[in-house]
Structure formats: structure tokens, C-alpha cells
Structure 1
Amino acid sequence: MSNPLVRKLECYVRLSEADRLCLIDAVGPGRMIAARTDIIHEGDDPRAVSIILDGWACRYRQFINGRRQIVSFLLPGDPCDPHIFLLDEMDHTIGAITPVLLGQISGAALQAMTARKPQLDLAFHREALATAAVQREWTISLGSRTGIERLAHLFCELYARLAAVGLAEAKICPMPITQSDLGDAMGQTSVHINRTLQELRGMELITLRSRRLTIHDPAALARLAHFDPAYLHMTEPGGRDTVRRA
């Protein structure tokens, strides 16, 4: 598979070969982060933009009593906010869920690159806007969707995002997150998540086994979830076609 950051950005903007090579060179080979290890902590100085090249991570906030709220999942190709270096400190923590291959671009390097490459500048801005739209959809889920609709919507979204970077096919995609992770993201207990998963299985909509999700009837799951992929804003062919199959 080609560089996942390139694949992700090409869901929003057509890039030239020079743009692609510039991105790959800027990110470099990356370094490995162990599973269940924090990549950057709340309060740290975000001097560089982190790029998930392989593996899964999440953004989260944690209370003193240990309670955690996951506010987004980060997948291969995701930049962890391309403008984060403009802030003085992190307002959340990014943690690895699986082993993660992490690339980084310094703020200065990213600014210099996007100043030279207008298509890359546009791509990063569109990606940031799409990420904000995903966050709004999560807020809608937490406020208005039922428990089963919430989980069904998350599965539709994750499948679509993975398919867009070439990591899902034939109704199957990786799903390495635990029931505890799902509970922290959905605002529910692990027991409630387990019951909801059983209900989705009983409706013959999904199978979740061996860290892989199979969506048996994507259209029915999308109807249950009130899932409309328009909020992902993947308008280029590389993203649009795969999203619609979710």
C-alpha cells in the first residue's frame, strides 16, 4: 500500500507526484510506539504534528479518579491535527491502542512545505475541517442516537475511513479496539457495550471476532445508525467510492 498519509489527503484533493514525494520525505520512516503507551500528554508542548502511519491510536481526556473519555480514534494516515503546533500546550492526550508506527513533521517544516505546495496546504486544511465534522457527528451520537445506533454509526464510520486508505474490503476491516475502549468512546459501560454487540449480532448485521469486524449488511447497518457519509467530506474518487460502500 502507498503511504497512508498520501492516501488520506488524496481523499480530499488531487495531488501531483511531486506533492506525494514531498509528503513522504517530510514524514520519514517513523518510529514504533508500544501499544497502550501515551504518544503525547495533556499539557505537553506540541512542537510537531504526529502522523499515524500504521496502527490505531485515540485522543482522550482522563479525570483524576481514572475515568476516561475517548473523543476520537486515529487510524493509519491520520495527522493528529496539522495545526496543533500553533498552540502552547496540548489540551488532551494521544495514546496508542495498538503498536503504532508514528511519523512526525515539525511545525516549521510543515509551514515551509505548505507554503511551497498550495495543493498540500489545501489538503491539510480540508482534512482538518473534515476532522472537525467527524467530531460534530460524535457529539450528535452522544446527544441524540440510542446506544445501538451510536455503536452502529461508529462501525460505519470506521469502516468508511479504513476503506478510504485501502485497509478494508469485502465488508471486512480491522477492529482492534476493546469493549472498554468502545465504552469510553460511547459514554457507556463495558457491560452495556457487550449487550449492544450481542444485539447487533442477533440482528445478523455484524460479526466481531479476532480483532476483525465483518459488516454483513452495510445498507441495513447504515439505516439503523442514520449514517450519511457526507460529513466525512471525501470528495475525491479515492475516498468517495469506498465511503459509499459503507
Structure 2
Amino acid sequence: MRLAPELVADLLTHHPRIARALRKNQLVDEGILREWLMNVGRRSAVEQLAHLFCELLLRLKVVGLADGTGYKLPLTQVDFADTTGITSVHVNRSLRELRQSGLIELEGGRLKILDYAGLRALAEFRANYLHLSDCAAA
């Protein structure tokens, strides 16, 4: 849906809470873009998947779709490959490495994070780019 420029200008001028929300949304979008550029350019396949799992945990937690240890993740290895830009064969090897390291379990369309601190360290994941509350990011 597109908003007319006049409507956006009116919202920004006369509705400061909406303006603040729009600015925060833009900051989050830009932060995610920067992190995914890092994923593609600098992180290994294992680190990319670890980063994805950490990001999804926090984002799903905020909206009540994840508990402290995991969430539903009904994606195939081809879906992971498309998301990360690596081959499905490499996804398979990387998931196996994450499992063997004792960091995750992925069964029946559910991801269980066994060692969040270890997964975060592997991914060099810092949640500040998501601009979540301290409670949600903890």
C-alpha cells in the first residue's frame, strides 16, 4: 500500500508517536540490511545460520511466538539456502555442524536452541540493530 506524500507529511508533523514509530522502523530496516550484508560478505555458512537463528529468536519472542529456547521453524533446507545465499548442500553440512556442536536441535519444524550464548558467540550476534527493549533482547 502506498501513502500519498501529503499524508505522510501530515503524519510526521501532527502525530509525533507515529513519526517516532516510522523512524524506529527505518532504523531497524537499515540495521537488518547491514547485518545481512555482513552475512553475505563476511560470515561463513555456519555463522550465517547461527545469526539467522538468533535474530529470529528475538524477533519472534517480541511478538509472543517464541519461548526462551526455541520456536516453530517450518522451513526446508532449500528455504534456508535461498535466505542465506548458500547451497542446500552447504546448509545441510552447516546444520549438522551446529547440531554436533550442541548449539541447536532442529526437528519436526521446530528449532530448539540448546546453547544461546554459544550460538550468539559463534554468530557474533549483537541485537542492538533490532532496537528491541532491554527485556526482549535479554
Determine the structure 2 residue equivalent to 1:164.
Answer: 62
TM-score normalised according to structure 1 size? 0.52
Please give the alpha-carbon distance, in whole angstroms, between the structure 1 residues aligned to 2:26 and 2:70. Answer: 27
Could you tell me which of 133, 136, 144 is aligned with 2:34? 136
Number of aligned pairs?
A: 136
Identity of aligned residues (%): 41
Are 2:113 and 1:242 aligned? Answer: no
Give, as a single letter, the amino acid of the residue that structure 1 aligns with 2:47. E
Give the superposition deviation at 1:110. 6.4
The gaps in structure 1 that reach 5 residues or longer are: 1-47, 49-84, 86-106
Please give the alpha-carbon distance, in whole angstroms, between the structure 1 residues aligned to 2:137 and 2:7. Answer: 28
Determine the structure 2 residue equivalent to 1:96.
Answer: none
Determine the structure 1 residue equivalent to 2:118.
Answer: 220
The gaps in structure 2 that reach 5 residues or longer are: none
Helix, strand or coil for the counterpart of 1:222?
helix
Please give the alpha-carbon distance, in whole angstroms, between the structure 2 residues aligned to 1:110 and 1:124. Answer: 13
**In the TM superposition, what whole-angstrom CA distance separates every residue of 1:1-51 from its partner, at most 9, and x where no partner exists?**
xxxxxxxxxxxxxxxxxxxxxxxxxxxxxxxxxxxxxxxxxxxxxxx1xxx
- Comparing both structures, which one devotes a greater share of its residues to strand? 1
TM-score normalised according to structure 2 size? 0.89
Helix, strand or coil for the counterpart of 2:68?
coil
Distance change in 2, residues 1:178/1:114 (3 Å): farther
Equivalent runs, 1:63-74 vs 2, <5 Å: none
Give the superposition deviation at 1:117. 2.3
Higher RCO (CA-CA < 8 Å; seq separation 6+): 2
